[in-house]
Amino acid sequence: MPRRVLLERHFAAPTLDVARALLGCTLVHGNCAGVIVEVEAYGVDAASHFVTRPRTGAIMGEGHGRIYVYSIYGVHHCLNFTTDASGPGAVLIRALEPTRGIESMKERRGSERLADLCSGPARLVQALAVDPALTGRRVTDAFEIVRPRHAPDIAAGPRIGISEAKNLPWRLVVKGSPFLSRRT
DNA sequence: TGGCCGATATGCT
DNA sequence: GCATATCGGCCAA
């Protein structure tokens, strides 16, 4: 049975295509894993770190298939994978359905409730113990991303928590998942 | 060097 | 639904 693992070249596609492909995939990091149920695409739009954080966000334009972990509101960190061989881009991982290492996740998160472990970009970074120092490394060095047998049903809407470019429907979710960061 | 703002999470009303 | 902690990144001065 073939392993359906994403390779560096899969991140070379346009950002929205990569975002769609990531939904439903199992993201493995250390002893923990979860199914990706919510992502957001960022390019050169007004809400993108490539524009608003020209120094740290420059990594979005320096190749694809790289890890970009940024800090926000002081104590939080969020995980992105860079995309698009022909321009700046990244996909923000916003929520997972926890599948493996759940006891570790509960300890790190200080919560027993399954839906609180990875339902938010900073929550999943804490649950999986993603190290911000991984920024710049290859995605495949620190993560294994396994495709689902069947593509999930996807819904799109505006991205969360931004003040610019609110109209772009670049937040993609697995339709009906109870593990989203917000109800749709 | 100071000040502003943010791709958030949490707790309270 | 709303307030706010908390500090890195950025830029103006």
DSSP A28-54: EETTEEEEEEEEEEESSSTTSHHHHST
pLDDT more than 70, % of chain A: 99
- Distance C7 C1' – A7 CA (angstroms): 35
- Distance C3 C1' – A57 CA (angstroms): 30
- Distance C6 C1' – A128 CA (angstroms): 22
State which nucleotides on strand C lie below 7 Å from a protein beta carbon.
Answer: 5-11
pLDDT in tens, A144-168: 999 999 999 999 999 999 999 999 9
**DSSP-assigned letter for residue A5:** B
Give the residue ranges of chain A where pLDDT is below 50.
Answer: none
- Reported pTM: 0.97
User: Does residue A71 approach strand C to less than 7 Å at its CB?
Assistant: yes
Q: What angle do CA A109, A26, A173 make, to 5 degrees?
A: 80
User: Does residue A73 approach strand C to less than 7 Å at its CB?
Assistant: yes
The per-residue pLDDT for A1 is: 65
C-alpha–C-alpha distance, residues A4 and A76, integer Å:
31
